[in-house]
Amino acid sequence: MTPIPVANMSNWKFTRAQGIKPDESFVAIMKTADALQSDPDFAGLIIRCAPRGRIEVLVALIRPFPPRSRPRVTLASAGFSQSFEATMAAAGAAVLLPEEAGVLAGGKWQTTPSLAVTVKENTSEIKGIVSLNGLREAYSTLLASCSQ
C-alpha cells in the first residue's frame, strides 16, 4: 500500500492496494495508534471500501492472532461503549469488525476525539487508543475514492 498525502486529514493515511485479481484494488484510510497510550502490539485503525458500497473497519495488530480466532472487540469513547464479535483478516494481523462499526465510522466517530479499543482473544488482550481527529475529511476522501 502506498500512502497518498491528502490535506486536512490530520495524519490519516490514504492508501490504495492492488488485490489478487488484475481488476481488483482496495482503498483505505489508516490511523496509527497513540504509542504512549497503547500496547506495543496495537498498530491502529483501518477503514476501507468493501464490495457493494459498504465500509469495513479493521483493527491492525503487530502480533497476529490465529486466523480462525473470533476475538471480542470493545470500542469506547466519551458517552459510548460497544462490543463486537470480530473475525480475522490479513493472516491474523487485522481484526475485521462487523458492519455496524462501518456505520459508526460514517457517523458518531466523526465527532469523537479518540477511540479506546480492546481486543480480547482467549487469555490475550491488546489495548490501544486512536485519535479520530480529521476523520470527517479522511472519510469523505475515502468515499469519493471507493467507486474509482
Question: Could you tell me how far CA 61 lies from the centroid of its own chain?
Answer: 10
Read off the pTM.
0.89
In this prediction, residue 1 carries a pLDDT of 37
Grid coordinates of 16: 490504495
In this prediction, residue 19 carries a pLDDT of 67
Phi then psi for 134, rounded to 5 degrees? 85, 0
Kindly give the confidence (pLDDT) of every residue in the chain, 148 residues in length, as a single tens digit, with 9 standing for 90 and above. Answer: 334 444 445 689 999 877 667 776 779 999 999 999 999 999 999 999 987 778 999 999 999 999 899 999 999 998 889 999 999 987 788 999 999 999 999 999 999 999 999 999 999 999 999 999 999 999 999 999 886 6
What is the C-alpha separation between 136 and 132, in angstroms, rounded?
Answer: 9
In this prediction, residue 4 carries a pLDDT of 43
Find the helix or strand (DSSP H, E) in which 33 lies. Answer: none
